[in-house]
Structure 1
Amino acid sequence: MRRKDDGRGWFCTVVSMLVLDMNSKNILLAIFFFLVGAALLVPAALGEAEGEEEENPAPIAPEKVDELVAFVQSAVAFAQEKGREAALEEFSKKNGSFVRGELYIYAYDFNGTNIAHPFKPDWIGESKINETDSNGVLYIRNLVNAARPGYGFTYFIFPNPADGGRDEFKIGYAMKVDDGWWLGSGLYLPEVSASFDQEERDGLVAYVEEAKSFALANGREGGLAVYNDPSGSFTRDGRYIFAYDYDGVTLALPHQPELLGSSRIEASDPIGVRFIREAIETASLGRGYIYYIYPDSSRGMRPALKLSYVSDVDGSWFLGSGIYAEVPV
């Protein structure tokens, strides 16, 4: 990063010149400039350091995410070397080599059937494709979809075995072993508040379904014109309606009009969650919830964890809205 000119150059030059010509008068002048310069430069240096810290907000340290990815990659390499059966046996051991504190490996096929889990042995052999977390998010389906192209991230709430089985927000990472199965693991983030009560979720669903009914009654273009108006009837109580087609093209986004008409199919949040793809997959089922980190227009576009509800309109496009966690990430 280019360092700003904060006046340190002229200060050092003046003091150096005075010191070279060392008489009593210049000594006093040198001391004077030193004290004035220190008073000016120390706050500037502190301000620069604070500015650098603010430029790089992150919900979790990048090295922790790298550690998660490396852990799953090592498990995939183990499975490819030892073979499926031997690997699944190892991954299912509660005290096995792939259980390291909060990090552990689980395995599924691409139909969502669990085939290894060290802390959920009763799940093995069962389909969990429609399993939801406490906010109604279809997290196993999201993990399957993340792994299908090779690897990917998603979020969900799940019991943390390293914290007494307490439900905690989690970053999940899934990676394909081959076309038949995949492995996953995750990082728990107990400091992230992801609790959205039933009343909040019910209000969100009612709001989105109201917007859908409006579109069906007034047509797609009539609906989009209202959703894209920041002062329109569907921009209220800190909420707004977004809309996309199934190719990921932006149809409505009132606080980011510059994105209208652009494809966001590969858009990802700061962790790497491909949230538009998750929204498309969820809406294609009819309706559902997803998590992602996104700028909050009610907080000056500061990124925050968002629980969104999406609903298909007519098979060619969908709309949705979200509620943000109380504390920005």
Structure 2
Amino acid sequence: MKRCYLIGMVCLLALLAILAAGCSSPGVQGAGEENTTAGDLAAFVRGAAAYAETAGTDAALAEFGSASGRFAQGDLCVYAYGYNGTLLAHPGQSEAVGTNQENMTDIRGLPVVRIGAATAATGGGFITYLAPAREAGSAGEAYVPVLGYVAPAGDTWWIGSAVSLSGTGGEAYPGPVSAMVDLVERGAAYGRDHSREAAFAEISNRTGSLVDPAGHYLYAYDYNGTLLAHPHLQAAIGSSLIERRDPFGMENIRALRDTAQDGGGFIVFVWPNPDQGNREELKIGYVLPVDEDWWVGSGVYLSEITGENSR
């Protein structure tokens, strides 16, 4: 069965995002997810928002909640939330409609519903979060980033949809994400092949071999959350940042550390973007352990992938 990657099913007790519910609709023709671009996704959601404005709230929610409706197109479907976090419509989860999911998180603690609501409230745009991989991705991960788009649909509610990030434009992953994974893998290998002092010096070198041509860099921490190396946060090296919280309350250094401690992989978090005046923005990260004492990571801002500013 085809599945719609969206903010729908979460096992809150285990903090696992099961963000894949059935959206397949026999007889409905829609673009296959592997051919869906970021622009296609945005147009799909904007079209649904325009429909809601014309049809009215009740009719639109009924349409969005129908597995055979016009907005359940193969792997693409529309979900709807109130700004208070209540699920209003979902074609694969009618039993969850009416429940409050404001505090829903993905596998690493990203509060996806609150971020979706905040993005929609400022006019809409792209979001990203982790969902279970349909199959092992290019990085062999069980949880991989998905690309979502949200938009306001009325004064009190908003809508969204999502596709696997590995499906946009037919690439395994968008170029910046693939390059970032490669950088982290090279950094972890460098750390194993060199002394700690040499590795930390190279990671902190803004013009070194571990800064790629686009300016993406590595950072290194120990498992207590102490920053060990960073090309841009030199003053913070030696300080523990484990208690740092983003504007949504996510302890992102702790979450990054936990991901590395679990063997590494993708994580999505919010971090200031210096190229956007330190605006808080979603960032797709990848981390790997070097040894039992320290780990490395890097990240790509969502706007680098979509070409649009995002929260």
TM-score computed with the length of structure 1 as normaliser: 0.46
Q: Which has the higher helix share?
A: 1
- The structure whose RCO (Cα within 8 Å, separation 6+) is larger is 2
TM-score computed with the length of structure 2 as normaliser: 0.48
Larger radius of gyration: 1
